[in-house]
Amino acid sequence: MLMMGKVRLRDSELAKSVHDELSAYSREGEGIAVVETAGGVLSPGPSGALQADLYRPLRLPVILVADSRLGGIGSSVSAFESLKLRGYDIDAVLCFGGPEAANLEYLRDYFRSHSVQTYGLLEPPPRDNDEDVDQRNTREYYGSLNHAKTFERVVDTIRRQHRRRIGDIDSLPGRANKSIWHPFQQHQLQSEKNIMAIDSAYGDFFQIGNPETVQSEKRSGKGEQSALQTSVLRPAFDGSASWWTQGLGHGNPKLSLAAAYAAGRYGHVMFAGAVHEPALLLAETLLQNLQNPRLQKVFYTDNGSTGMEVAVKMALRASAQRYGWDSTSDEILMLGLKGSYHGDTIGVMDCSEPSTFNKKVEWYRGRGYWFDFPTVKMRRGRWFVEPPKGLEAEFGRSRSFKSLQEIFDVNKRDSSRYEAYIKATLERLSAEGKKFGALVMEPVVLGAGGMHLADPLFQQTLVDVVRRNYRFFGDELGSVTLRTATDQHAWKGLPVVFDEVFTGLFRLGRFSSASFLDVHPDISVHAKLLTGGLVPLCTTLASQSIFNAFLSKDKSDALLHGHSYTAHAVGCNVALESLLEMTQMEKSGDWAGFQRSWMGGDMFKRLRPDSENERQQTISIWSMWSNPFVSQLSQKETVDSVFALGSVLAVSIRDQAGSGYTSTAAVGLQKKLLQDAGPHGWVVHSRILGNVLYLMASQTSKMETLRAIEKMLLEAL
Amino acid sequence: MLMMGKVRLRDSELAKSVHDELSAYSREGEGIAVVETAGGVLSPGPSGALQADLYRPLRLPVILVADSRLGGIGSSVSAFESLKLRGYDIDAVLCFGGPEAANLEYLRDYFRSHSVQTYGLLEPPPRDNDEDVDQRNTREYYGSLNHAKTFERVVDTIRRQHRRRIGDIDSLPGRANKSIWHPFQQHQLQSEKNIMAIDSAYGDFFQIGNPETVQSEKRSGKGEQSALQTSVLRPAFDGSASWWTQGLGHGNPKLSLAAAYAAGRYGHVMFAGAVHEPALLLAETLLQNLQNPRLQKVFYTDNGSTGMEVAVKMALRASAQRYGWDSTSDEILMLGLKGSYHGDTIGVMDCSEPSTFNKKVEWYRGRGYWFDFPTVKMRRGRWFVEPPKGLEAEFGRSRSFKSLQEIFDVNKRDSSRYEAYIKATLERLSAEGKKFGALVMEPVVLGAGGMHLADPLFQQTLVDVVRRNYRFFGDELGSVTLRTATDQHAWKGLPVVFDEVFTGLFRLGRFSSASFLDVHPDISVHAKLLTGGLVPLCTTLASQSIFNAFLSKDKSDALLHGHSYTAHAVGCNVALESLLEMTQMEKSGDWAGFQRSWMGGDMFKRLRPDSENERQQTISIWSMWSNPFVSQLSQKETVDSVFALGSVLAVSIRDQAGSGYTSTAAVGLQKKLLQDAGPHGWVVHSRILGNVLYLMASQTSKMETLRAIEKMLLEAL
C-alpha cells in the first residue's frame, strides 16, 4: 500500500510515483505487488480526480473487493462497470463475509458470466480489538486452512492471468501475421517482427509490446519470472494521432460514456425517414459552427471515403442538371489539384490523378483535370511560397515571406498571376470540350497525397475564378437558371466541394479549414476528428441549391444512397461530445500557450470583410509545434523543408532518388524515433508518406510532451 | 412506491405492471408519480436481474439518490455511470445530509459537469423514533422552510425536464426536415409529418413520438398538463431490424459494456502495421466459424459497401494477374445475378446491372454481365421454383416442391438444365471477347435489389460451372499457373466473391449463408449483424491465393486500401461479443421453438459429403416466422407470393402496374401496420422495397412477439 500523506500531488505525478515504486519492486525480484486504493473505485484522489481515472495511465490489473453489506451486489457490479468503462481488466473479485455470505453466491454467478472468478473470504477480525493484544485472532485468521487455500487460489489466479496477458502480447504479432490483411501493407515485406502489438492506449500514448523483452524471455525460457523483472510494455507517443482521427486522447472516459449512453438508449436506429436526438443535434452543431451560410443540409455516412462519394454524387447531379448534360454519354470530370486524395473507394479514387495509390487498381479511371499548385514551405528558417516545377514562368519564382501569417493574409496578396494562369488553363480545357462537374479540394493541406501545404491564395483564387466564369463550364442555359434563382447562396460556375476530412475540426487549429481561404464551399465533408478517435462517422454538408437538384416527384431522382449504420447513434453522440469538448477548449483559450510561440506583430488582426457574407474574421496561424523548433528543424542538413500548422508537423527529408510515396528516405528517422527511448522512457511512433515524416499531436497533447518530442526529433536528425 | 411482495414476477411482467400502474395514475389527472426502487440501481430484482435492466423497457427519468456516507461519492458516480450505460436520463441528484455534507459539494460539481443538478436535503428523522409518537419531528422536517424550498426546486426541475423532453420529441421531425438530408429519401415527398421521431429503443421496439398526442397538445395549448394525461410515446416493433443490422436487441447492456470497454482500453488505434486483441480475436473467430478452408486472411473496412469495394479490388487483381490482362486498356467485367446490390459507393454500384438505384448516378457505368435466375416462392400454400420470365424453355416451367427443405437439398436435385444454360451463355460472352474478373453474388437472398430468394441450386451450379471452365475466362496461361500452384484451395476459373453482408451471421439462421449452397467462396464479405446493430464495421475475408496476388517486392503492388478507423477497437470488441452471443444461442438451442414449426420428416439429415473438403453438414431450413403462418399469408387475395427464411419474411403484394422499386403496392399495408396498434398496444414499423413488404426479426425476438405480429399482418391484409 502506498501512503500518499497529505501532499497534494498532480495526478500525473501520483501515477508516476506509483509506477516508479512498482518498477523498483520489480527490480528486486519475483513477487506480487498490490496497490491498495482508498475507498471505492471512483472515490476521489488527492486532486479530486476519480481514482479509477487517476490510475488509468498504469492500467494495472484489478482485484475488485466486493461489498458484502446490504446493497453490496449493486455497488459491486456498478464498480465493475465503471472499471470496464475505463478499459481495466479485472483479474478476480474478492468478497468478504465467508463462503455463506448472501452477496457471494449472486456475485459469483454474475462475474462468471463476465469470465471473472469470485472468491469468498472470511471477514478479518476487527483491527482495534483490545483483547487481541498478541494478534492471535489475526494469526488464526490467516492460518486457517480453508482460508489459506482460498488465498492461494487468488494468488494463483493473479499469476495465471499475468502469464496469459504476457502470452497474449507475445503472440499478437505472429497471429496477426497469419490472419490479418493489413491496410496499405506490402505483406511480402512484413514479418511478425515489424507488427506492433498494442496492449492499450491512454492519452497520447500507446502501450506497445516490447519485442526485446519478449525475445529475451523466450531465450531465457523463464517465462513468468523474468517477465516480472523486465518491462513487458513500452509507452510510445501516438505520432499519427491514430491515423489522424484522435483529438481528445485515447481512453477518454467522457467519450466512452457518451458511446455507452447512446448504445444503451438506442443501440442503432435505422435512419430512413427517422430521426433521433444525437443525429439532429450533431447536424445542427456542425451547421452552426462552420459559419458557412451556404450549408443547410447534413447527410451522414460512415467514413471520409463514403462521405466524398456522396459529395461527388451531389455535385455531379447539380452540374449535370444545370448544364443539361446527358450523363450516360457525357463524361463529366472533376477539377482539382495534383496530389489530392479523397479516399479508397473507386469512385473517389477517380477524383484524383493517377498515382501510386490508385494506378494499379484495375477499375481506376482518373476522371478529371488536376492543377499543379504552389506550395508553402519553411527552408533554412524562412517561409517560402514555391511554384510547382516547370511553372516558374507562369507563377513567378520562389518568394520568401516574413511569417507564415503573412502568407495566410490572402486578401492582402496579389492573385493576378494565379488568376491569369487558371483562366488560361480553363479556357484551353473548355476549348477541348471537357465537361467539369465540380471543383474538389482539400483546403490548405493535402494530406494522404504527401502532406503538401498549398498556397492558400492559389486555392482561393481557383474558387473565385471558377465561380465567376460559368462560361468555362456550361452554356447560357446554366447562366439563365442561375439568374432566375432566388437563392443568394446558389452555387456558381461549379459546385465547390471541400474535403475537410483531414484538415477540419481543429486539426489545423480551427473548426473549419475553409476559413483559412476565406471561402464558403457548397459542399463540405467532415470525418476523422469528428468522433475524436473512437468510431467511424462522416458528414457531408450541402447547400440548399445542391439539395434542390434532387427534388422531384420521382423517387428515383432522390439521392439513393445510405449505409445501414447511417447516422448511428453511438457515433453521433460521441461526435457531439467531441465537438463540445474541442469548442470549449478553444473558448477557454486552452491553446494559448502554443499560440504564444507563433504570435508576431501582425497576429490576430481583423481582415477586411468577406465580400460574400460580410462577416468579419480573426485570422490566426499557429501550431502546437513551436515556432523556434520548426525553424531549427529546417536548418538540419538532411531536412529539405518543413511546415507546421495546428497539430500537424511535416518534415521532408532530402532524397536524391525522388520524393514520391515509394521513397524510403524517411524510414531511418522513423525507426530511430521508435527505437531510442528519450529521457522520459518512451519512444515515438510516427508514420511516413514517402520522404515526408509527419507528426500529429492530439488537441489535448500536453506542451511538455510535445517539447520533449521536439528535442528527440532534433537529436535524431 | 410499488409493493411487489414475495411473488416472483417475470421481468417483463414486472415492467408491465409498473407501466400499467403509471398509466392508471396518468389517467387520474395531473401530478408526478415516483417509482421508488429498492436498494441501489443495480441491486437485483425478484428474478435476479439487475434493477436498472429490469426497468429499462420503461426508461423512466431518474432521480438518483446519492449516498452521503463515507465512500458515497464513488458509489454515487458509479451508479450514475451504470444508469448512463443503459441509456437512462438522470433528471436530478438528491443528496441527504444537509447542505454542509461532505459529499454534496463534490457531487454538485461533478454532476454539473454532466449537466445534472444536485440538491442537498437534510437527513430525515429516524423512522422508528419512539419519542416522536405524534410524528412532530417528521412534520417539522417537511415543514422547515428551506427544506420545503429545496423540494419545490426538485419538483420544478422534474417538471422542467419533462417539458423539455416532450418539447424535444415534438420538435425533432420539424428540425430534422430542416437540417437532415435523409438516405434514400425523395425530399419533395417528405414532410415533417412522415419523419418518425425515435426517442429510444429497447429489445425489438422503438419508442416513437406519437404524432397524434403532439398534435392534440398543440391544439389544446395546454402543454405540460395534457402531456401528462396522454401517452407521448408509442412502442413500434422494429420490423426492419434497424435496417438489417440488429440481432441482439436495442439497448443491450452487454454490447454497451463491450463498446465502453474497448473505448476505455484503446480509444482507437491506427491499424497500419499494428494489431490489437479485439481485431485479432474477431478475425480468428470469423475464420474459425465460417468453416471455409479457403479463407485465410481478414481485411477490415467500415461497411458493406467499402468491404465489397475491397473484395472487387482483390478479385480484379487476382484474375488480371493470372490471365495477364492490361487493366489500363482491358475493361474487366463482373459476372453476377440480375437484381444484385452490393452498396452505394460507385465502384460496387458498377457491379450491378442498371437499375433505379444506380442509373441516375452520373458516374455509374455498369461493368458486368448479370444472369437471370430462377426464384423460390410460396404461392397459395405451396413452394415453387420459378424460372425467370421468358426463360421457361431453358429452365423448365415453374415446379412445385413439397417443402422449402426439399428445394434446399441442392445436392439431390438435377442441375443439368442450369448447367447447359450457364455454359451456353458463358460460351457466347467469351466469343464476344468479354473479360470477367470475378463471380459476385449474394448467396440465397438478394436483399436490397428486391428481396429475391434465389434457387440455391442455380447459384451452386453457377459457381461450379465457373470453377470448372477456365476456358471461358482466360487463356492457357491461367490454366498453367493454376496447375503449378501448390495451394489446393487456389481459386479456379474466376475468384468467387460472396456478399454475405445481409445474408450472413445468422440472418438466415446460419453463421454462413454460403453453407446453404454448399459452396466455399474465395472472398467473403460480412457486416451488418457483425456488430449486432451498434456501430459500422465490415470484414472482407480472402483465400491465400487471392492474398498472394498482391505479394511482390514493390510496395505499390500491395492492396493500398485503408480507412482511418480500420479495425476500430470499439467495433471489433462489440462484434466479438455479438458473435459470441449468437453462437452460444445456436449451441444452446435457443431457436428450437422456432425450428419446430418447420421440422418435416426429412429435416436435420446428413447430406452427402462436400466434394471439396469432405466435411459433413447438417442442413436445416427454418424461419422465426412460423410455417403455418407463411402458408396462410400466401393464401391471401392481395398477396402474390411469400417466403421466410431465418429471421426474414418477404411478402410480395400484387401490383398490376409492375413490381419494381418504384411500385407503391405495399405502401398501404405498411401504413396500416404503423397506425393500427394491436391488442398489446404497439404498432409495427416496416420497410418496403417496391411491392415487397418485408419484416425482419432480431435473433433475440420473442416468439410471443412474432406470433402477435403474424396475427396483425394477417388481419391487416
- Residue A348: the pLDDT is 97
Residue A110 and residue A120: Cα distance in Å, rounded?
14
Residue B480 and residue B464: Cα distance in Å, rounded?
20
Determine which of A97-111, B164-178, B291-305 has the lowest per-residue pLDDT on average. A97-111
CA angle (B314, A349, B320) in 5-degree steps: 30
- Residue A131: the pLDDT is 61
- Residue B602: the pLDDT is 45
Could you report the per-residue pLDDT of B530-581, keeping only the tens digit for each? 999 999 999 999 999 999 999 999 999 999 999 999 999 999 999 999 999 9
Give the three cell numbers for residue A424: 488560361
| Cβ contact B186–A357 (<8 Å) | no
Residue A640 and residue A379: Cα distance in Å, rounded?
7
CB B461 within 8 A of CB B522: no
Cβ-Cβ contacts under 8 Å for B315 (sequence gap 6 or more): B437, B438, B440, B494, B495, B497, B522, B523, B546
* Nearest CB neighbour to A557, from listed B186, B268, B566: B186
Q: How far is CA A376 from CA A337, A406, A414, A652, B528, in A?
A: 15, 11, 16, 12, 44
Alpha helix locations (H) across B86-144? 102-112, 136-143
At residue B281 the predicted structure's pLDDT band, cuts being 50, 70 and 90, is very high
| Cβ contact B270–A350 (<8 Å) | no
What integer best gives the mean pLDDT of chain A?
Answer: 90
Q: Is residue A466 part of a domain?
A: yes
CB A357 within 8 A of CB A660: no
What is the length of chain B?
A: 717
Q: Is residue A305 part of a domain?
A: yes
Q: Is residue A611 part of a domain?
A: no
A213 & A258 share domain: no
| Cβ contact A43–B82 (<8 Å) | no
Give the three cell numbers for residue A22: 512498482
Determine which of A8-22, A231-245, B698-712 has the lowest per-residue pLDDT on average. A8-22
Half-sphere exposure of B51 (CA within 13 A, CB side): 22
Indicate the residue among B566, B585, B609 that finishes a domain: B566
| Cβ contact A274–B44 (<8 Å) | no
Determine which of A671-680, A698-707, B342-351, B436-445 has the lowest per-residue pLDDT on average. A671-680
Q: Is residue B112 part of a domain?
A: no
A113 & A186 share domain: no
B354 & B480 share domain: yes
Of the candidates A526, A528, A503, A501, which has an alpha carbon nearest to the alpha carbon of residue A513?
A503
- Residue A452: the pLDDT is 97
Give the three cell numbers for residue A266: 438506442
- Residue A231: the pLDDT is 67
- Residue B215: the pLDDT is 45
Could you report the per-residue pLDDT of B597-622, keeping only the tens digit for each? 998 644 444 333 343 333 333 448 99
> Which residues constitute the domain of residue A319?
253-596
> Taking the C-alpha atoms of B164, B167, B171 and B172 in order, what is their torsion angle to the nearest 10 degrees?
60
Long-range contacts of the stretch B329-333 (C-beta < 8 A, 24+): B330/B435, B331/B367, B331/B435, B332/A362, B332/A363, B332/B367, B332/B435, B332/B436, B332/B437, B333/B367, B333/B368, B333/B369, B333/B434, B333/B435, B333/B436, B333/B437
- Residue A124: the pLDDT is 76
Give the three cell numbers for residue A578: 467531441
A5 pLDDT higher than 70:
no
| Cβ contact A187–B273 (<8 Å) | no
Residue A700 and residue A705: Cα distance in Å, rounded?
11
Q: Is residue B680 part of a domain?
A: yes
Report the SS3 class of residue B538: strand
CB B186 within 8 A of CB A555: yes
Cβ-Cβ contacts under 8 Å for B669 (sequence gap 6 or more): B651, B653, B693, B716, B717
State the smallest CA–CA distance between residue A187 and chain B in angstroms: 6
Q: Is residue A612 part of a domain?
A: no
Residue A454 and residue A643: Cα distance in Å, rounded?
11
What is the length of chain A?
A: 717
A555 & A638 share domain: no
Q: Which residues of B507-539 are buried (b: 16+ CB within 10 A; e: fewer)?
A: bbbbbbbbbbbbbbbbbbbbbbbbbbbbbbbbb
Residue A666 and residue A265: Cα distance in Å, rounded?
47
Residue A502 and residue A446: Cα distance in Å, rounded?
9
| Cβ contact B184–A560 (<8 Å) | yes
**CATH code, domain with B686:** 3.90.1150.10
| Cβ contact A79–B74 (<8 Å) | yes
B518 & B640 share domain: no
Indicate the residue among B566, B585, B604 that finishes a domain: B566
Give the three cell numbers for residue A192: 511478425
Tally of structural domains, chain A: 4
For residue B399, the cross-strand partners are B385
Cβ-Cβ contacts under 8 Å for A304 (sequence gap 6 or more): A342, A343, A499, A501, A502, A525, A527, A528, A538, B563, B564
Q: Is residue B116 part of a domain?
A: no
Could you report the per-residue pLDDT of A303-332, keeping only the tens digit for each? 999 999 999 999 999 999 999 998 888 899
A6 pLDDT higher than 60:
no
B421 & B559 share domain: yes
State the smallest CA–CA distance between residue B535 and chain A in angstroms: 6
| Cβ contact A303–B299 (<8 Å) | no
Average pLDDT (B108-117) is 95
A617 pLDDT higher than 80:
no
Alpha helix locations (H) across A485-591? 544-548, 569-587
| Positive or negative: CA dihedral B207, B209, B211, B214 | positive
Average pLDDT (A24-50) is 88
Backbone angles phi, psi at A96, to 5 degrees: -80, 160
- Residue A82: the pLDDT is 98
Q: How far is CA A144 from CA B113, B248, B505, in A?
A: 49, 47, 52
B143 pLDDT higher than 70:
yes
Chain A CB contacts of B88 below 8 Å: 264-265
Residue B700 and residue B237: Cα distance in Å, rounded?
13
Indicate the residue among B522, B547, B566 that finishes a domain: B566
Chain B CB contacts of A43 below 8 Å: 71, 73-74
Report the SS3 class of residue A377: strand
A211 & A301 share domain: no
Cβ-Cβ contacts under 8 Å for B58 (sequence gap 6 or more): B15, B18, B19, B22
Chain B CB contacts of A190 below 8 Å: 273
CB A125 within 8 A of CB A94: no
Backbone angles phi, psi at A379, to 5 degrees: -125, 130
At residue B219 the predicted structure's pLDDT band, cuts being 50, 70 and 90, is very low
Residue at A147: amino acid letter: H
Cβ-Cβ contacts under 8 Å for A107 (sequence gap 6 or more): A66, A73, A76, A77, A93, A95, A118
B438 pLDDT higher than 70:
yes
Cβ-Cβ contacts under 8 Å for B515 (sequence gap 6 or more): B291, B617
Q: What percent of chain A is predicted at pLDDT more than 90?
A: 75
Q: Is residue B704 part of a domain?
A: yes
β-pairing verdict for B692-696 and B687-689: antiparallel
Backbone angles phi, psi at B107, to 5 degrees: -65, -35
A265 & A408 share domain: yes
Report the SS3 class of residue B663: coil
A28 & A58 share domain: yes
What integer best gives the mean pLDDT of chain B?
Answer: 89
Would you list the DSSP string of B65-84?
A: EE--STTHHHHHHHHHHHHH
- Residue B600: the pLDDT is 65
Average pLDDT (B243-272) is 96
- Residue A302: the pLDDT is 98
Residue B109 and residue B87: Cα distance in Å, rounded?
22
- Residue A296: the pLDDT is 98
**CATH code, domain with A112:** 3.40.50.300
Average pLDDT (A200-212) is 90
Residue at B388: amino acid letter: P
What residue in A sits closest to B274 (Cα-Cα)?
A196
Residue A119 and residue B518: Cα distance in Å, rounded?
48
At residue A482 the predicted structure's pLDDT band, cuts being 50, 70 and 90, is low
What residue in B sits closest to A106 (Cα-Cα)?
B48
Residue A26 and residue A639: Cα distance in Å, rounded?
42
A664 & A580 share domain: no
| Cβ contact A564–B244 (<8 Å) | yes
Determine which of A349-363, A411-425, B215-229 has the lowest per-residue pLDDT on average. B215-229
**CATH code, domain with B315:** 3.40.640.10
A154 & A230 share domain: no
C-alpha distance across the termini of chain B, in Å: 44
Residue at A678: amino acid letter: G
Residue B17 and residue B7: Cα distance in Å, rounded?
13
CB A65 within 8 A of CB A72: no
- Residue A254: the pLDDT is 96
Cβ-Cβ contacts under 8 Å for A335 (sequence gap 6 or more): A368, A369, A370, A371, A436, A438, A439, A440, A466, A494
B500 C-beta neighbours (distance < 10 Å), count? 30
C-alpha distance across the termini of chain A, in Å: 44
- Residue A127: the pLDDT is 64
Residue B676 and residue B666: Cα distance in Å, rounded?
16
Q: How far is CA A297 from CA A289, A440, A520, A548, in A?
A: 14, 19, 14, 11
CB B119 within 8 A of CB B94: yes
Report the SS3 class of residue B689: strand
B591 pLDDT higher than 70:
yes
Half-sphere exposure of B26 (CA within 13 A, CB side): 16
B154 pLDDT higher than 80:
yes
Alpha helix locations (H) across A332-415? 346-349, 392-395, 404-408
* Nearest CB neighbour to A566, from listed B183, B279, B560: B183
Angle, in degrees to the nearest 10, between helices B145-179 and A277-289: 80
Chain A CB contacts of B48 below 8 Å: 106
Choose between B46 and B583: higher pLDDT.
B583
A198 & A149 share domain: no
Could you report the per-residue pLDDT of B654-680, keeping only the tens digit for each? 987 766 766 778 899 999 999 999 888
Chain B CB contacts of A256 below 8 Å: 260, 263-264
